[in-house]
Amino acid sequence: MTGVPEDLGPTDRRPRPGEPVDGWRRRWAERARTLGGAARSRTRRFWAGAQPTLRQLWWTEEPATPVTTVDRRFPEPLVVPAQGQVYVFLVRVTFTWSSETARPELFGWYVDYFQPQATQRLHRLAVRCSVEVPPHRPRELHTALSAALAQDDPPPWTYARGEVTFTCEPDVTVHLDERVRRLLQPYWEQRIALECERDLARRRSEYAQERDRRDPAGPGRTGESRRNPPEPGLTGESRPTGESRPAGEPARPSEGTPAGRRGPRPGTQAEAFTPLEPLLPPPAPRPAPGQRPRPVPPDEPRPHKP
């Protein structure tokens, strides 16, 4: 690099002394226009190449996904009159509230605002259905109320305030009055006892039929003997209850029975002698003539006198 300025060309050199100033300005203006056009074209090319990258870096907000908030409420039971206007029914209801437009922090406030309207709406239906139902038949009221909810006023019920919309689905159950429950308790106790006895008799009959199928009657066995089997020990054998002996099998003495009590064996003669009295002791020796008999101790058996 030297101190001599470089040759800038015919348009870039400074005006010389004596040269007109208008020509110099014209040349610089043309030079500026040329450089500006080149810069603009380069900028357009750079911007066209950078746009795809910039689009990926741009901040875009996706549409918010709606969130459904659900809550269940259990208000006090509704008291509706039964037939005759003396006893009542207790209608317990569960309200299921849901919304996609309410903010979570305000959801409870909206539910508290709409729930009295839903309770009054259900109470009108329950009173209309219960005035013709006897007080001891809660199932009929439940059926009638479910039919009224399905046909006359089907859920879900819709409630709106401004831009916020709520839906409500009621679920009802019917219970007896406590006074009617006390009156019906003896009847149901007796009915349950009778049903238990009937079930017990039916089971006994089924067990008897099953036992008869397992133990069919033999060739010489009658229906009476099948109903009343002989007691163990009377036929010379002892068998457990429910055990049958095959036909043609000889009787066997039971275990633990003394041998003197066994019956005669089949095919042999019965013993002709059966002792009826215990064996007598042998006679005592007689004393000699002129000799006194020996005294017998009290615990010694006395001789038998014929």
pLDDT tens-place string over residues 39-81:
999 999 998 888 888 888 877 776 767 778 899 999 999 999 9
**Which tens digit of pLDDT belongs to each residue from 223-237?**
444 455 544 444 444
Examine the fold and report which residue of 135, 160, 176 is the final residue of a domain before the chain moves on: 176
On the question of pLDDT at 283 being above 90, the answer is no
Residue burial 158-191, b: 16+ Cβ < 10 Å; e: rest: ebeeeebebbbebebebebbeebeeeeeeeeeee
31 within domain boundaries: yes
Check whether residue 107 and residue 152 sit in a common domain.
Answer: yes
pLDDT of residue 259: 45
Mean local confidence (pLDDT), 249-257: 48
9: left (phi over 0), alpha (psi -120 to 50) or beta: left
Identity of residue 82 = A
On the question of pLDDT at 287 being above 90, the answer is no
Check whether residue 83 and residue 164 sit in a common domain.
Answer: yes
| Ranges 6-20, 47-61, 123-137, 282-296: which has the least confidence | 6-20
On the question of pLDDT at 191 being above 50, the answer is yes
Check whether residue 50 and residue 135 sit in a common domain.
Answer: no
- Label residue 114 by pLDDT band (50, 70, 90): very high
Which residues constitute the domain of residue 81?
69-176
Check whether residue 121 and residue 35 sit in a common domain.
Answer: no
pLDDT of residue 66: 76
| Ranges 6-10, 26-30, 125-129, 297-301: which has the least confidence | 6-10
pLDDT of residue 236: 43
Examine the fold and report which residue of 33, 56, 79 is the final residue of a domain before the chain moves on: 56
Check whether residue 106 and residue 143 sit in a common domain.
Answer: yes
Calculate the average pLDDT of the chain.
77
261 within domain boundaries: no
Examine the fold and report which residue of 155, 176, 197 is the final residue of a domain before the chain moves on: 176
32 within domain boundaries: yes
pLDDT of residue 152: 87
237 within domain boundaries: no
169 within domain boundaries: yes
Check whether residue 27 and residue 85 sit in a common domain.
Answer: no
4 within domain boundaries: no
CATH of the domain at 157: 3.30.479
Check whether residue 170 and residue 93 sit in a common domain.
Answer: yes
Q: Which of 103, 145, 249, 6 shows the shortest CA–CA distance to 111?
A: 103
Share of the chain above pLDDT 70, in %: 62
Mean local confidence (pLDDT), 234-261: 47
Check whether residue 27 and residue 118 sit in a common domain.
Answer: no
On the question of pLDDT at 207 being above 80, the answer is yes
Check whether residue 34 and residue 117 sit in a common domain.
Answer: no
45 within domain boundaries: yes
Check whether residue 49 and residue 77 sit in a common domain.
Answer: no
Check whether residue 146 and residue 85 sit in a common domain.
Answer: yes
Total Cβ atoms within 10 A of residue 75: 14
Whole-model pTM? 0.48
Share of the chain above pLDDT 90, in %: 44
274 within domain boundaries: no
**Which tens digit of pLDDT belongs to each residue from 167-182?**
999 999 999 999 999 9
Total number of domains constituting the chain: 2
Check whether residue 89 and residue 167 sit in a common domain.
Answer: yes
